Chains A and B, each alone.
Chain A
Amino acid sequence: MMRRKKRTAGSVLFSILRCAPVAAAACVAVGPVVFLVTGSLMGRGELGEYLAPVLFGTEGFVTWRFLPMYPTFQNIVELLCDSPEFFYMFWNTMRITAGILVGQLLCGMPAAWGLARYPFRGNRAVYGLYILLMLMPFQALMLPEYLVLEKLSLNNTLWAVILPGIFSTFPVFLMYRFFTEVPEEILEAARIDGAGEGRVFLYIGLPLGRTGIVSALLLQFLECFGMIEQPLAFLKDQTLFPLALYLPEIGAERAGFAFAASLVALAVPLLLFFAGSEYLEQGIAASALKG
């Protein structure tokens, strides 16, 4: 960066003034994770004491300690050894998420490539349709989706959540943005060397559009993992429910268990978030700015 200057007392003060609000916002953003971690390490007795005003309506307010007085793995053990339903719902969530992501890779990715690189007849119309659908909130599409799923008798199966998810157009749009940036000369060179269109896509488009693909999948993963509206509308059978519908059912009486369950559920998206944060950021930036 060119803007680095010599440090004076004034500039140090300025940078503190500047950092403080950002740091405060960062603490608010991260706070809930810290809560879940400490909460899941607290025993029933300790939590009961802090949460008594909410649980039993005693005087005073809920208090909290960010270091448990008597840390214990009781909740984690209970979760891992004694609650098959948690894993059942976890498995449902993973099946839904994996189904949507695989579908996006197999159908959405080639579609983004086709729209980005081939000016066939109707290309702009399809692109316009995709943008339009991307802007529609789920609530506007809920009834249409429900009716078609009913006709195909897919309601109350995981496919009812997976199939419309595969055809959500946002990931296609995001990958499109990155695919348009691949220089045409490279593709031409490959074609002259005798590569067919399929090969051009697999060996040039995919590697060069990697950032877009990874960031689209990552954003889609985070979206699917926390899905509430779709399963709520299309699934009736409780055994099909994803984790996101099960966690809030646990209730404050079993707060320690609920914290542990939330923490384990959170661990998956959080790990992916950190593993892919660089891609994520580029994807977010590309979704809003002209490339």
Chain B
Amino acid sequence: MKKKYAGIVFVLPHLLGVLLFLFLPFLDVVRRSFAQAAGGFAGLSNYGEVLHNEAFRLAAGNTIRFTAVCLPLLMLLSLLLALALYGIGSGEAALKNSLLIPMAIPAACVALLWQLLFDNHGMINGMLSAFGVAPVSWMSTDASFYVLVGSYLWKNAGYVTVLWVAALDGIPGEVYEAARMDGAGKMASLFFITLPCIRPAAFTIGVISFLNTFKVFREAYLVAGSYPQERIYLISHLFNNWFLSLSVDKMAAGAVLLSVVTGAAVYALQRAWEE
């Protein structure tokens, strides 16, 4: 094989698959989002319909709220865990592994457990009542939001902690040494060395955590089905239901909107970070 063509030969089989199964169909959906169901140009009317759709507004609002609460919470919590964990000594590997375990647990395996935890007569309420707190109807009131937040944190905290630890690993020990010589205390090192040094990693960690927010659908769906309590009806539920009812033009416009918003969010994050 000549070197000149080798690269293309290596890439081609996968690239063809990507074009055939993902990229071209996506372009086709972009086209459909501007078309009428019966054929013919629809302009932005599909988009208008989606944006005025009651269910879409509910789901979009919920998804934005969920992301806005979860992302900072997850990143902060796991940064604290990483700071505590980093250089803890002999137990570091074992602790990291235990924290990572939720990654390996399929959502389906804990569906029943989640039900037993969050039922009105479930274990969480049992624990609360032991402290004299009144039971909460987790799955049928707005409290369901916290069930979802909890699931997300449980699933992703270990993963993100490992990411932060890797970022901390990248800071050369000499920098701390030099700071200590100059009389910097632990807190000063944290604020003037550690945090600035891991800032670039924070961007990618943020993007990964953001993408994983969509996967919380698995837990939500398994515990509460296609139509969960109103507060946790997410974009993923909506798309799934549109999909089942085969509302192709609404879905097309919705898919394009979702990808544009996702892309714009990542781009905006990146710009904000580089400044």
In the complex, are the beta carbons of B81 and A25 less than 8 A apart? yes
User: What is the CA–CA distance of A233 and B245 in the complex, to the nearest angstrom?
Assistant: 11
Q: Is the CB of B106 closer than 8 A to any CB of chain A? A: yes
In the complex, are the beta carbons of A262 and B109 less than 8 A apart? yes
0 or 1 for each of B20-46: is its CB under 8 Å from A? (1 = yes)? 111111101100000000000000000
0 or 1 for each of A63-100: is its CB under 8 Å from B? (1 = yes)? 11000000000000000000000000000000000000
Known: A132-B263, A167-B21. A141 touches B255 (CB 8 A): yes
In the complex, are the beta carbons of B18 and A228 less than 8 A apart? no
User: What is the CA–CA distance of A209 and B107 in the complex, to the nearest angstrom?
Assistant: 31
Chain A residues with CB under 8 Å of B108's CB are 226, 228, 243-248, 262, 265
Known: A53-B121, A287-B208. A61 touches B22 (CB 8 A): no
Contact check: which of A2, A61, A143, A284 meets B29 at CB < 8 Å? Answer: A143
Q: Is the CB of A208 closer than 8 A to any CB of chain B? A: no
Chain B residues with CB under 8 Å of A244's CB are 106-108
Q: How far is the CB of A174 from chain B (nearest CB, A)?
A: 12
Q: Is the CB of B73 closer than 8 A to any CB of chain A? A: no
User: What is the CA–CA distance of A272 and B106 in the complex, to the nearest angstrom?
Assistant: 13
In the complex, are the beta carbons of B21 and A22 less than 8 A apart? no
Chain A residues with CB under 8 Å of B98's CB are 26-27, 29-30
Chain A residues with CB under 8 Å of B123's CB are 61-64
Contact check: which of A23, A32, A225, A245 meets B110 at CB < 8 Å? Answer: A32
Within 8 A of B (CB), among A1-38: 1-3, 15, 18-19, 21-23, 25-30, 32-33, 35-36
Q: Is the CB of A204 closer than 8 A to any CB of chain B? A: no
User: What is the CA–CA distance of A169 and B2 in the complex, to the nearest angstrom?
Assistant: 26
Q: How far is the CB of B225 from chain A (nearest CB, A)?
A: 9
Chain B residues with CB under 8 Å of A263's CB are 109
Chain A residues with CB under 8 Å of B85's CB are 22
Q: Is the CB of B205 closer than 8 A to any CB of chain A? A: yes
Chain A residues with CB under 8 Å of B236's CB are 137, 139, 229
Within 8 A of A (CB), among B199-214: 200-201, 204-205, 207-208, 211, 214
User: What is the CA–CA distance of A229 and B107 in the complex, to the nearest angstrom?
Assistant: 11
Mark A residues whose CB is within 8 Å of B.
Answer: 1-3, 15, 18-19, 21-23, 25-30, 32-33, 35-36, 51, 53-54, 57-58, 60-64, 106-108, 110-111, 113-115, 117-120, 123, 126, 129-130, 132-133, 135-148, 163-164, 166-167, 169, 172, 191, 196-198, 201, 222, 225-226, 228-229, 232-233, 243-248, 250-252, 255, 258-259, 262-263, 265-266, 269-270, 272-274, 277, 280-281, 284-285, 287-290
Report, nearest first, the 3 A-B pairs whose CB atoms are least far apart: A118-B7, A114-B10, A61-B126
